[in-house]
Amino acid sequence: MDKDVQTEVEGLLKLGANKKLVKASVQEKTGKVVLLKDLSNVATAMRNPVRNDLDSTIQLLRNYYCTSRARSFFVLTFFKRNGRVVTFALLNFTCLSGTDCHILTDNDEFRGLLICTDSMKASMRFYPEYIGIDATYKLLELRTPVYVIHNEDGNGATKVVCIALLVQEDVSSMQWFLKKFQELNPGWTQTKCIMADKDLLERQCLKEYFPQAKVLVCVYHTLRTFGREVSAKKLGITAEDRQTSLKLLQKMVLSKSDNEFEKHEKEFDQEVHPSIKAYYDKNWRPVRHEWYTGPQFVESSFNNTTNNRLENFNGQLKSVMKSNNSLEEFFRQLFKLLGTLADEHDHGAAYSMLKRPCNLYSLDSGIQRYQKHLTPYAYERIVKEYHQMGNVELPAADNGAYNYNSSSGVIVVSCTDCTCSSRISMMLPCRHMLAARIQGRLRPLPRRPVRQKMD
């Protein structure tokens, strides 16, 4: 193929175009027969002969994502591994828009890399209450997992706040990862809820470094892990035993109150195979509040019961890059994706703030006044609770509080607070609070109805 056609083909292949469609397009334009092997040869010639080289990756980050004033330096830290002291070299430099990059090496061998951009740090500074953490695999030739930490902003949007590569998923690497994340984000002390999977090492480190936060198990990972471990091969049970236990566990996971959970747990203890019960007693019963979606689970979780937000981001990662990328290719595609997501997020936030809202309520209702001070996401949730307020019939007050029998059990309601799952999860006024204020002849909403996150 001539030079112009080859240049066009190279551009299409760089964008990840389907080779069969590229082949058909080239044949239609040139009238010449082009084989898929020809396109594969073009793609091979385009590949950088230097792959997975740490020096070239650092140079790439410096040249494209770092300021001209960036300087690198080394800091030595020490960890104990297998009873001996090991020196780790941390290479740090500041990138474009305040991006921090930290590289972990062990005896001149690459062990990990962490990046945190200026926008990531800003998001963590403003919205530190809830974070989720998970790893995705098969993106790198080095078979290195990619760890992603995310949070949720005041408009309900997902924001990535840190990305790290860890060659070894051991204690020292995980500790380095979490320690660096905390150094870059002082607001970590305000984190109250962390969504993770059932990995014991990861959870142990999270509990150690975030002692003030509760570490939850994603509902999806709970069901998947239990289903994987409860098998005929591992526990010597029948398929019927397994199905019975999975159905009962799902009921336990989705319980909304302690009473409901205890009812299903008692049924579980009575009906499952002894080996399944022994497995449950050892691995799940001691940490039940970390995986069943009751009041303690949903508190400060902003209605997140899974890591689906991270799964969505991982899916986007895999949509813009193929499997088994080199380090250089990975970061090129990663920053393109982060830039696209940032543009879309900024557009959505600006649109939601700039568009003129419809005024459906009178000023006397107390609703419209807060439309000016809340994010659209928070305002819509308050309106939904306001609509449901009429379905709440509170009993007589006892010292200013109401004991209301809800679908999730007895809750305590006052004019300023409530113990229902909606209130403790979102920290927004719920239907019970609104009904209590109306019954007490107060404004439908208090002057300070929500915390700063939703302002």
What residues contact 164, with CB distance under 8 A and at least 6 apart?
Answer: 112, 113, 114, 115, 146, 147, 177, 180, 181
How far apart CA 263 and CA 255 sit, in angstroms, is 10
380: region left, alpha or beta (phi > 0 left; psi from -120 to 50 alpha): alpha
Query: Which tokens is 212 given?
Result: 């003030």
**In the block, residue with structure tokens 């984190």:** 191
pLDDT of residue 171: 94
Query: What integer pLDDT is reported at residue 205 of this predicted model?
Result: 96
Cβ–Cβ contacts within 10 Å for residue 272, how many? 22
What is the rounded CA–CA span in Å between residue 209 and residue 203?
A: 10
338 phi/psi in degrees, rounded to 5 = -60, -40
Structure-block tokens of residue 399: 């010292």
Give the DSSP H or E segment for 103: strand 99-106
Q: Provide the whole-model pTM.
A: 0.83
Q: What is the DSSP string of 270-321?
A: HHS-HHHHHHHHHHTGGGGGGTS-SHHHHTTSTT--S-HHHHHHHHHHHHHS
* Nearest to 146, CA basis, from 167, 120, 129, 160: 167
pLDDT of residue 392: 92
Q: Give pLDDT < 50 ranges for the chain.
A: 67-96
The amino acid sitting at 219 is: V
Report the percentage of the chain scoring pLDDT > 90.
Answer: 51
Q: Name the nearest CA neighbour of 123 among 335, 346, 451.
A: 346
Nearest-5° Cα angle at 72, 67 to 73: 155
The mean pLDDT value of the chain amounts to 85
What is each CA distance from 60 to 38, 92, 321, 372, in whole angstroms? 30, 14, 18, 45
> For the chain, which residues make up each domain, given as ranges?
3-46, 54-218+306-345, 221-298, 363-454
Q: Which residues contact 135 (CB under 8 A, 6 or more apart)?
A: 145, 146, 147, 148, 169
User: Which three-class secondary structure state does DSSP give residue 197?
Assistant: coil
Write the single-letter amino acid at 91. L
DSSP per-residue letters across 314-342:
HHHHHHHS-SSB-HHHHHHHHHHHHHHHH
Q: For residue 164, is it left (φ>0), alpha (ψ between -120 and 50) or beta?
A: beta
Q: Which tokens belong to 93?
A: 């430099």
